[in-house]
Structure 1
């Protein structure tokens, strides 16, 4: 579906002489990524509306998407799997981020966010096989992902100490947790693919 729409948009732009035929593959891939991103965002916001958690959905996306862009990690083999994984991640986040009033839950947020930030700090970036990074890009992405994750980590620690923002801390913590999980899965995928 995403590839079909991306192909149609790219062909339309070529027919109208907006882009050059030689750049077809580059634009097609760019539109595929853009369409998938828009669909992911729309679905997460819809789930947020469904569960009456739109503010938290936006907060999760603001924390998750920029770090994920620079940190990299596991990527599904196609857009449908990617979309399903992202939906599952967000539904799990919504289900585990309610009822955060207990001290044990606050301690769990602290531990999970600290471990997740440490994982991101050590592992990021993990490049995708279709998008290899230069040494310069690796250094740049490492620095940016560490800074972004550090900001989210500090915000999580601040939010968990304020009663009215404690639930928000669960969403910011979840963004770090899922990015760390994607990095760990990316490392495992690289290890197993080297064995083939």
Structure 2
């Protein structure tokens, strides 16, 4: 449905002379990516409102999306599966934040940051079969991912220190989800390579 809408918008832009007709496919692809991002953001905000945990939702999604861009990891087979999986992950994270005993939060946060930090720093970036990386890109993504991880970890520790435990846990859980996605993506790539041999 989004792809049809994207194609329609691109065709209208070409019709009005805003873009060249031969560039329709490229613009349709870009518009589709934009619509997907907006749908994910709108859904995240909606789930946050439903659970009455909008700040936690925003902190989780923001820290997840920024770091995910550079560390990679598992990708669902289709946009629909990706969307459903994203919704389920956000709901699971909010439930975890809601029901973890506040007295356990600092030890849980610390353990998550330590263990997931090892996984993220060791595995990242994990490329996708549809977007292989060359050596230069791997080094760029690795370096940038580590810097972003360090900033987000420092932010989570700061939030813990000032007593904003729910927000800190939301950021820590974004790293836990990413660590899981990196491990899953690595296993998926190894399985794919083994099948190809």
The TM-score with structure 2 as length reference comes to: 0.90
2:44 & 2:30 partners in 1: Cα distance? 21
Distance (whole Å) between structure 2 residues aligned to residue 181 and residue 26 of structure 1: 33
Question: Hey, what does 2:168 align to over in structure 1?
Answer: 169
Instruction: Quote the residue 2:128 is aligned against.
Output: 128
Structure 2 residue runs without a partner (length 5+): none
Task: Confirm or deny: 8 A CA contact 1:100 1:167 kept in the other structure.
Answer: no
Say which is worse superposed, 68-77 or 130-139, in terms of deviation: 130-139
Structure 1: distance between partners of 2:179 and 2:25: 31
- Indicate if the aligned counterparts of 1:100 and 1:166 stay in contact, CA closer than 8 A: no
**Given that residues 73 and 128 in structure 1 are in contact (C-alpha distance below 8 angstroms), is that contact kept between their aligned partners in structure 2?**
yes
Q: Per the alignment, do residues 103 and 143 of structure 1 end up closer, same or farther by CA in structure 2, a change over 3 Å counting?
A: same
- Secondary structure of the structure 2 residue equivalent to 1:132: coil
Q: Which residue number corresponds to residue 181 of structure 2?
A: 182
Matched-pair contact (CA < 8 Å) for 1:2–1:35: yes
Paired with 1:30 and 1:93, the residues of 2 have a C-alpha distance of 30
How large is the Cα RMSD of the aligned pairs? 1.7
Gaps of at least 5 residues in structure 1 are: none
Counterpart CA distance in 1 for 2:94 and 2:33 is 25
**Matched residue, 1:34:** 34
The alpha carbon displacement at 1:120 in A equals 1.4
* TM-score, structure 1 normalization: 0.91
Distance 1:123 1:52, change over 3 A: same
